[in-house]
Homo-oligomer: A and B are copies of this chain.
C-alpha cells in the first residue's frame, strides 16, 4: 500500500516543540509517511536553531528554506512571507505531498497555506478557531479560510470554525499536542535538573530552591512602540518583589527589539539580583520548571494551555492571549505595575485551589492527529456552508 505523504512545515522553534508528539506519531503510523520542511526562524541561530534538536529527536529533514528578511519590522515580515510562498511552492512541487500541514498563526504560516492551496494540495491547519486580537488573529482566520481540514485544540475553537462557515465533517478537536509533553511531566513532576547548570543563561546566580517565579513576555505585534515600556514595567515589578525568578527572552517578531532591548537595558543598568535570564529550554524541562514554580507571569500561550493542564497559576498580562479559552489557573491583568502586582498576589492566594483542566486536551493529541491524517478524506475544494 502506498503511504500518504504528509508534509509538515515548521517555521519556528516553538512550533516544533508544540507539534513534536504529532510528528512522532505521523512517523510511526503505518499508513503515513512524514515529509518535514524546516524554514524561517527555525533555521536561525539567534532564535535557537531548531535543526540540531530535530535531528537529535530522530527526524530526517527533507528541505530547509531560509526566508527571514532582516529588519524585524513590518515590511520585513511581509517580504519574509512572500519569499516563503515562492520557495515553499517549489518545495511542495518537488516533494509531491498528499497533504500539507500548517501550524497555528505566526505571520509566515500563511506562506505554507498559499503554496499548498494554490497547488491544489489538501491543506490541514492545526490550531485554528482561536481568538487573540492582533495580526496573528488575521493570519489564523485567513489560514482557516485557505485550509480544507481543521485540527483544533478546544471545543471553543471548533464552535467558532463552524460559525465561520467551515464544514463540520472537516473540523476535529484533537486537543493541543503541546499538552502531550505536559502529560509526561504531570505524571512525574520532579525538577530533575539544575536550570542554571544545564542552561547557563545570564544574570545573577539566584537561589531558586525555596520557590521561584517564571516570566515569559513577548512583544505584541501591532503595539510595536509600547513593547519596551511593557517589559520594563514587568521587570520593575519583579525586581521589587525580590522573589527568585527565571526570565525567558522573547521569540522573534516585529517588536522583538523593543522587548529585547528593554530587557537588555534594564539588566545592564539595574543588574537585578533576583532575576536570571534564559534564551530557551527544551520543552520538557521548561514544563518541569513551570510545574514546580509558584507562578508564571507574562503573555505566553503556555500559560493558557499547558499551565491549564498542569494547574500552574498564571498572571496573563495584556491582550496577546485575548479570546483564548482559559482554565481557572489564569488571572488576566493590564500592563500597569499595580495590576501585575495584584495579579501575582491573587495567584499566590488561590494557588491551592486551582484544578487541572482538560480544555486543551488530555495528553494524546499527537496520536489523534496522526490517526485523523491517515483516515480523513482529503479534499482541496470547499464552499462556505451558508
Contact = CB atoms under 8 A, between A and B. Distances in A.
A287 to B, nearest CB: 29
Interface residues of A, number: 69
Interface of A: 41, 43-46, 63-71, 73-79, 81-87, 89-90, 93-94, 107, 110-111, 113-115, 117-120, 131, 133-135, 137-139, 141-146, 160, 163-165, 222, 257, 322-323, 380-384, 386
Contacts of A118: 74, 77-78, 81, 107, 135
27 contacts: A63-B94, A64-B90, A66-B70, A66-B71, A66-B76, A66-B79, A66-B89, A66-B90, A70-B70, A74-B118, A75-B93, A78-B115, A79-B86, A79-B90, A81-B114, A83-B86, A85-B85, A86-B87, A87-B87, A110-B142, A117-B138, A120-B222, A133-B383, A137-B382, A137-B383, A142-B142, A323-B384
Contacts of A84: 82
B83 A71 contact: no
Q: Report copies per complex.
A: 4
A285 B384 CA distance: 35
Given A70-B68, A110-B114, A145-B138, A381 B93 contact: no
Q: Which of A69, A74, A86 has the most CB of B within 10 A?
A: A86
Given A138-B145, A142-B142, A165-B164, A114 B222 contact: no
A176 B376 CA distance: 39
Contacts of A85: 78-79, 81-82, 85
Please give me the 8 A-B residue pairs with the lowest Cβ-Cβ distance, nearest first.
Answer: A82-B85, A82-B86, A78-B89, A78-B118, A141-B145, A68-B70, A142-B142, A142-B145
A99 B46 CA distance: 30
Given A142-B146, A380-B222, A90 B75 contact: yes
Contacts of A131: 383-384
A46 B256 CA distance: 13
A206 to B, nearest CB: 20
Contact of A65 (B90, B107, B134, B145): B90
A84 B114 CA distance: 12
B93 A64 contact: yes
Contacts of A160: 165, 384, 386
